[in-house]
Every structure is written in C-alpha cells, then in structure tokens.
Amino acid sequence: MALLVATPRRAPWALSGVSGLIVAAVTLPLAYVVLRAFQGGIARYIETVATERMAGLLWRTSILIAGALAVAVPVALTGAWLVVRTDLKWRRFWATVLALPLVFPSYVAAFALIAVLGPSGLLQGVLEPLGVERLPGIVYGYSGALIVLSLFTYPYIYLLLVPAWSALDPALEESSRTLGAGPLRTWRGVVLPQLRSPLYAGGLLVALYVVSDFGAVSLVRYNTLTLSVFHAYRSLFDRTIAAATATVLIAVAILLVVLQARAQRGFRAVRRGATRPSPRVVLGRAQAPAQFGLALFALVTVGIPGGVVISWGLRAIAVGNPLGAIGAALSHSLQVSLLAALAASILALPVAFWAVRFPTRVSRTAERLCYSGYALPGLVVALALVFFVTRHAGFLYQTSALLVLAYVVRFLPEALSATRSALSDVAPDFEDAARVLGHSRWSAWRRVTLPMIAPGIAAGAGLVFLTTMKELPATMILRPTGFETLATRIWAAADEGIFSEAALPALLLLVVSVLPVWWLSIRPALRDRESRS
Amino acid sequence: MTPLLSIRDASIGYGSNLVVREVNLEVRQGEILALLGPSGCGKTTLLRAIAGFEPLRRGSIDLAGERVSDETRCVPPERRRIGMVFQQGALFPHMTVKRNVGFGLSGDAAKKRTEEALASVGLSDLAARYPDQLSGGQQRLVALARALAPRPNVILLDEPFVGLDIGLRERIRDQVGETLRTAGATAVLVTHDQQEAFGFADRVAVMQAGKVVQTDTPPRIYEQPATLDVARFVGAGRLLPATIEEGRLSCALGSWPATTASGQGFLLVRPENFELRALAGAQKPAARLVRTHYLGHDLLHDVTLDGSTVVQVRTMNLGQTLEPGPVHLHLRRGEFRWFPDGLPAGVQLTLGG
C-alpha cells in the first residue's frame, strides 16, 4: 500500500480566514477575566489573591477533587470490570444502568439527596414518630458534596473504560499469565497500564466537573472556588475580587489539563482491535452478591433521585402547581438550547474541516484553542463575557443572544469533536473522487462530504443541546432579568427548600434528556462492546 | 503522433523536500502504463499531480494537447477530464451504485451512459444496491465504471486492487484490464506489485526515491534492468561480483568467454538461468545444495558456491528430488546483464563457451 507521502495541501484562504475568526471569537473574550483581574494593578491583585481565605478555598476545592476521584475511579473500574470481564447475568441491562446517573445534573442530584436525607427530608419524616429528632447532617458540607460529585460523575470514567477494556487484546493478559505472572500481577502490571488512557481522560473530566460545579456545592453549602466567585460577583460592587478569584480557578483548570497531559505522555499502546473477545471470569457463587450490590448501588444513584423527582413532581401536578411559569421556563430552555446547538454545529464545521483536511501547526493549535471553553468553568466563561461585553458591546448585555454566545463558547468543543471525528472517518479520497468526476470543491463538499458526516454533526448538536439544557452557572449570571430556564427554577426552588416546586421542572428536564443521553452518550460507548462480544 | 499524456521534468514537493524529481513520461492514446515502485517512492504523488491534486514545483504536464500543470498553473481536477479509481474504491456510501456511476454525468444521455458503463463491467443487475451491499471486488468494478462513465481522456488507478484476496485479485485485475482495453482507454496504474505491473501494463515505469529510473516494456524491465537498483528491485536475482580480463569473465560460478570490455562489476543471475544436476564425477567448482523450497509447480533451491555466496535456482517440479549436499550447478549460456563498476547503467553481455 502506498504511503500517502502527500505534500501538505494549502487551505483555501476563505476557509482559514473564517475558521480563524471563529476561534478568535470564542477564545479572545476569555482573556478579559485576566485583564479585569489586573485592572487595579499587580499589587492590588496579589493583595486579593494571596490571602488565607483563598488558601482555604483552594484547599477545600482540592480535597473535593481528590475525594471525588478516590470514589469515582474504583467505582468505575469495578462497574466496567463486571460488565466487560465477568459472566455477570443481565450484563447489558447493568451496563446501561451503570451509566444512567449521567442524566442527573449535579443540582438535581443534590436536591434529591437533601429531599431524602435532609433535615426535613423523607427519611426524617419516616423516623420522627420513632423518636429520631434529627438525622446527622451528612447532606451538608464536604460529605454531601462528595456524595453528589462522585456518584453522579463516575460515568464519565466508566463510559471511556468500557470500550477501551473490551478492545484490549486478550493475548496481552494471556502472555503475562504464561510468563508466570499471577492474576494480581497481571492486573497491575499489564491490564491497568493499558487502561491508563481512559482512566486519565475520564479522571480529568471528573476533576473539571468538580472544579466547575456550582449547583451541587451551593445547595449543600460547601464553599469552593467556583461558589466564592459567584458570591463575590453577586454581592460586591467591586468585581475585581470576582475576577481575581476566577484567575485562580483558571489556573487550577489549566493545572489539571497539564497534569493529565503529562501523565498521558509516557503512554504506549499497540492499538489492534481485539480479534476475539476476552474470556470472562466466572462469578459462580459471587453472582448473587454481585447482583445484590449492583441493585443497591443503582437504588442510590438512579432509583432514589429518580423516584424523588418523579414522586414530588407528580404530587406537584396533583395539587395544581402553577404550570404556566414552568411552561415559560421550559420554552426558554428549549429556545436557547436549540439556538446554541445550531450555532455550535455550524461554527464547528469550518474549524473541523480546516484542522482535519489541512493539518498544519496553525490549524491544529486553533482547533485546540477552541477546547479552552470546555476546560474552564461555565462561571468563568460567563464572567469573561460580562467583562468583554460591558466594555466593548454594551448592547449585548442582558440579552439572550449573549446567553447563547456563552453556551457556544462553552460547548463548541462537543460539536467540534463530533464533527471532527466524523470528518476524519471520511477519507479525502471521497472528495477527490467527486473532483475528478467534474465537481468543484464546493459541490464535492456539499454532495459527498456533508451527507456522509451529517450523523456526526447531528450527534454533536444533540450533545450541545443536552448540556445547554442542564447548564446552570453561566445561565445564572447572564440571563436577562426575569428570564427563567428549567435549570434556574430547579436551583432557586431547591435552594429555598421548596421541593415540590423544584421537582416539576426537574422531572421535565429528565424527561427531555433521558432518551438523548442514552442515544448520544451511553449507547455509542456500549455498542462497541456489544458488537464484539 | 503526439502522446496523450506527457510529463516533462516534473518535480513535486515543498521546500527542499522533493517527493518527485525531474520525471519524464509519455503515455500514448490507448496505452496502459504502470508506475512501479516501493512504498514512499513518490508514485502516488505523481499520479495525484496528473489528476491535479498536487501542484508541480517545476516542469509541466500536458494532457490531450493542453497544458494542465506547470510551475504557475494547476488546472483543477474537475476540469481535466480524467477518471480515477482510488485504493478502496471510494464509492460514496450514501448513494446507490447507479447514482455513484452517474455522479460525473449530466444531461439527457446520463441515464443511458450510466447503464452502458455498468454493463461494461458486467454489474447491471446491481444498480440499485448500496456500496456496503457489494463485495470488495464488485466495489472496485463499480469504481471503474464510475471513472469510465464520463469518457475521460485518461484513467488513473491508485493501487486499485489493494485489500482483495489473492485469487479474487487476479480475477478482478484481468477483468479491469479487459474492460479498459475494450473501451480503448488510456490508463496509468500505480502499484508496488511487479506481477501486477507486468500482467496489466503495456509499459512499466520503475520509480525509486522520487525518480523514474527506467521506462520499458515488461520483458525489457526484467531482462535488461537499467541500473543496479532496478535489478535489485525487480524479480528475484543475485548480483555476483565478477571480473572480466582478457575476454573472460570469472566469478564464484566459474569462468567463461565474455564479449565486453575488461573491468570489475556485477553479473545479474536469476534463478531460471541455472540447471541443477546430481554430481557426476569430480566436477569443479563444487556447489552445495542447502535447502529446497517446495512451491508446487516449481522448486526453489538454495545453493552455496564457496560456502558463503548463496544463489537461488528454480527448476520445474518433475517429480525427482535432490538431496542436500554437493551438486553440479550449471549456468545456461546466453545473454546476461552486466553492471560495470563506475558506470551508471548496465550493458548486455553474452557468455559463451
């Protein structure tokens, strides 16, 4: 087979120009956080940042990241092992159930936790006649934040582990065993190192989720960097403090990305799709305990939050909760989410095309820059846009257009990565074939490439739609006055402890998102596994 | 008659990295030319330059009397009237076979021409299928029909049989060749497989490190390789160091009267140049049979001459076997290729005696 020693083809000027503009539009505003933080001079900045309070916030954020990872990684490993490498009964069912916590945004999970275990929650109500005056307050503070941010984030690791693990060549393990290594040494020396890539990538997602989370930590009253940025922004006239705290948050996010990249660097793998599935461990007598354990786990991570939302939601409907206001919130949510999905998928096209078809250092870097919005907390993105807009584009302030722009900056990577991977699956041969048959570059692209990558674009748009529906912190900051979405209503009601009012929008949110989550996130990751085994 | 395609002094590449260097080629109307060379020799890049996907750094390409590429100009692929068959076929997966074949056509005659093109590869009954419902061989044939449909000036084939099983590969290759010749098409085939090049093409251009080192008919490429590199790349063979002195050539095989000027160099010997017999009497020099590879219709023997030099000898499988050990090795008299030291090209040489 002839290697394509192709000389790099030069990108059409219009393509690189348009892409460059898009990249600049989604990355430049981010610089405004830094700009704003240093507005009062460096001395002032250091005075704001180098405080005991900041150290405390850093510490609290760090131990939350560490704790979440310490729980999420073993949970994800165990779950993936059970469904990929054992003869667990009803594997497909469990494989899906284990990914389902993904449908609960952190603030819904936190709200359910409080509604069940909180001081005026369900359990308290059951136990009060028995003389229990007050449950220990595990739902608040570190423990509450940890429960929510580990048990509802581990699917990010799990969904990367499952396909990687099932694609692992069983001959690796078998060689290790024939060379005299026992199961434990084989696991630690051969299997685990091969799973490093999904573990680190998933771990980074979890860590970034924790760093950027606003909904859960605010409801369980655990003060982190993100939460304190929000409060600083809301309560003080001087926004320099919010900006300064945000720069620390940015530094943490960058540090996490760099750490992950470094850890990943030494990774070597010979990628060869497994030609045969790995033999499965026979659970035998452990089958029943495994089933029981999974059922109990699913009860906590899916059954209880789902049940709370559904039962409170139905009760709210029964007592005739004002549906009108929620109808408006639902339609707002749908509007901005659809717009964000549309805008992100259209903007992703030229950038993806540029980076995939004309890979140069410039185009690759530009593409990576687009991912910065994804690594940064939504709150930081929102602040950046506020600072940028108040200085240069005041007419945008307090408009839903700005809200949509924030979503695009934040979630463009989802559309971009879906589009890019669809595009790299389409060999340039297809476009070339259309060219030699007499079609212009544009016609070849429209009639051949676009139809072929349409499913990928749609999947990306679906993901942007979903994450926008759930987005809370940026929405809180940027929404026009009186503009309620499902997310803001859920949070506001839960924050005041009015569960019945939080439940109905939460139910709507779940109903709207459960099928897309399954279709776009869960099914693609698990399908691989099923086709192989 | 002016050639249909002519490439003059063509170089391709960026900066100091030239992938193709000063290539000259001409293809006549109705001729099939193969570009043969190892991976990375620049043959695919050259093909893509003919198609208009790669600009020329220097030189020119003329197609059907029109200048399509030179240093300043590169007519886009869609205006060159060429057909191209890609490695895996590159059939558009979202279109039926019929729409694929008709993709390069427009106007009233499109439907009729689509049917003709499909009929020419014998796949008319598959018109309604999608590419994923075709076998690998069928996909290549549809790709050929698609390329032929607009009646291009020249058909370019980029390793079109890669990924097919051996038996199927030969069948599809023959069918593609026959279809091209029936259509009177002019074609350029890129391949790294010399059997494919020899069996398919009227002429073969051997490419190495970005250069075309020899362009000739298959027999001449095989029997009279222009350079040592071509001799090494094409066919199995052994280059024996030898000396010619006073009209005699001597090497590890022995010594014979030779017709060329004196000097040192290399003699190309191929497995079919030898006869191998059981040792009778005290013949010298003694050769030793080390191993016999059983190939079915043929036998291939590894024979050492002086303990270190190994030559391969091919014999027909006539049922008798030779035991490893001392044997008599006989070089058939006749024409050989001789590469004198210090000269860039080989010369013909007759060994008599």
Label residue A268 by pLDDT band (50, 70, 90): low
Report CB contact under 8 Å: B103, A1: no
The pLDDT assigned to A336 comes to 96
Q: For chain B, say whether A455 makes contact (Cβ under 8 Å).
A: no
Span between the terminal Cα atoms of chain B, in Å? 45
Does A7 contact B150 at a Cβ distance shorter than 8 Å?
Answer: no
Question: What residues 89-128 of chain B have any CB closer than 8 A to a CB of chain A?
Answer: 90, 92-94, 103-104
* Per-residue pLDDT, A529: 47
- Select the more confidently predicted residue: A39 or B146: B146
Query: Rounded to an integer, what distance in angstroms lies between the CA atom of residue A512 and that of residue A517?
Result: 9
Instruction: Give me the pLDDT at residue A6, please.
Output: 43
Contacts of A6 in chain B (CB under 8 A): 44-45, 48, 54
Write down the pLDDT at residue B237: 87
Residue span of the structural domain in which A33 resides: 13-532
Q: Is residue A8 in a domain?
A: no
Highest mean pLDDT among A271-280, A322-331, B231-240: B231-240
Inside any domain, residue A361: yes
Q: Residue A4 falls within a domain, yes or no?
A: no
In chain A, which residues have their Cβ closer than 8 Å to the Cβ of B44?
A: 2-6
Q: Tokens 């000739």 appear where?
A: B216
For the record, the structure tokens of A399 come out as 């408009």
Query: Residue A186: CB partners within 8 Å, gap ≥ 6?
Result: A173, A176, A177
Q: Calculate mean pLDDT across residues A434-443.
A: 91
Q: Are B32 and B200 in contact (CB under 8 A)?
A: yes
Mean of pLDDT values over A369-393: 87
List of chain B residues with pLDDT < 50: none
To the nearest whole angstrom, how far is the Cα of A454 from the nearest Cα of chain B? 11
Q: Which of A35-39, A73-77, A121-125, B334-338 has the lowest mean pLDDT?
A: A121-125
Where do the domains of chain B lie, and which CATH numbers do they carry? 5-226 (3.40.50.300), 236-273+332-352 (no CATH), 276-331 (2.40.50)
Least confident of A16-20, A270-274, B203-207, B265-269: A270-274
Cα distance between residue A117 and residue A276, in whole Å: 47
| Whether residue A178 has pLDDT greater than 80 | no
- Six-digit token pair at A90? 């009803």
Nearest to B32 by CA among B173, B209, B231: B173
- Chosen from A437, A439, A445, A447 to mutate, greatest number of chain B CBs within 10 A: A437
Tell me which chain B residues have a C-beta less than 8 angstroms from the C-beta of A451.
Answer: 94
Q: Is the pLDDT of residue A1 over 60?
A: no
Residue from the list B53, B78, B90 with its beta carbon closest to the beta carbon of A439: B78
pLDDT, position A501: 84
Does pLDDT of A530 surpass 50?
Answer: no
Whether the per-residue pLDDT at A290 is higher than 90: the answer is: yes
Tell me the count of A-B CB pairs closer than 8 A.
Answer: 98
Q: Is the pLDDT of residue A528 over 60?
A: no
The ipTM assigned to this model is 0.76
Q: How confident is the model at residue A471 (pLDDT cuts 50, 70, 90)?
A: very high
A303-329: average pLDDT = 82
Q: Amino acid letter at A371? A: Y
Nearest Cα to Cα of residue B56 among B46, B45, B43, B70 = B70
Residues 6+ apart with CB under 8 A from B46: B7, B10, B12, B20, B23, B35, B190, B207
State what percent of residues in chain A have pLDDT above 70.
92
- The pLDDT assigned to A236 comes to 66
- Listed range (A187-191, A328-332, A509-513, B7-11) with the worst mean pLDDT: A187-191
CA dihedral sign, ordered A435, A437, A442, A445? negative
Angstrom CA distances, A500 to A119, A122, A312, A509, B302, stand at 16, 13, 5, 15, 89
CB A390 within 8 A of CB A397: yes
Q: Identify the pLDDT of residue A531.
A: 43
A2 in a structural domain = no
Which token pair is A5? 């020693």
Helix A240-265 to helix A196-212 angle (10° resolution) is 170
Cβ–Cβ gap A432/B90 under 8 Å = yes
Record: contact A430-B90, CB cut-off 8 A? yes
Q: How confident is the model at residue A5 (pLDDT cuts 50, 70, 90)?
A: very low
Q: What residue has token string 């490498």? A: A85
Our count of domains for chain A comes to 1
Q: Which residues contact B234 (CB under 8 A, 6 or more apart)?
A: B36, B194, B206, B221, B222, B225
Bridge partners (DSSP) of residue A184 are none
Do B82 and A436 lie within an 8 Å CB cutoff? yes
Q: Is residue A34 part of a domain?
A: yes
Residue A533 has pLDDT above 80, yes or no: no
User: Does the beta-carbon distance from B48 to A6 stay under 8 Å?
Assistant: yes
Residue type at B283?
Q
Query: CB distance from B40 to chain A under 8 Å?
Result: yes
Residue at A28 is within a domain: yes
Q: Which of A7, A427, A452 sits opposite B54 (nearest CB)?
A: A7
CATH of the domain at A176: 1.10.3720.10
Element (H, E) at B251: strand B248-251
Residue B43 Cα, gap to closest chain A Cα (Å): 8
Sequence-distant (≥ 6) Cβ neighbours of residue A402 within 8 angstroms: A385, A389, A396, A478
User: Could you tell me which chain B residue has the CA closest to the CA of A450?
Assistant: B94
Question: Inter-chain contact A441–B94, Cβ cutoff 8 Å?
Answer: no
pLDDT given for residue A402 in this prediction? 94
**pLDDT tier, A193 (very low <50, low <70, confident <90, very high otherwise):** confident
pLDDT of residue B282: 60
Please tell me whether residue A104 adopts helix, strand or coil conformation. coil
Tell me if A108 sits within 8 A of A488, measured CB to CB: no
pLDDT digits (tens, 9 = 90+) for A386-436: 988 888 888 888 899 999 999 999 999 999 989 988 998 888 889 999 999
Residue A118, phi-psi category: left (phi > 0), alpha (psi -120 to 50), beta (remainder):
beta
Chain B 48-87, residues with CB within 8 Å of chain A CB atoms: 48, 51-54, 76-80, 82-84, 86-87
Predicted local confidence at residue B93, as pLDDT? 86
Q: Is residue A523 domain-resident?
A: yes
Is residue A3 domain-resident?
Answer: no
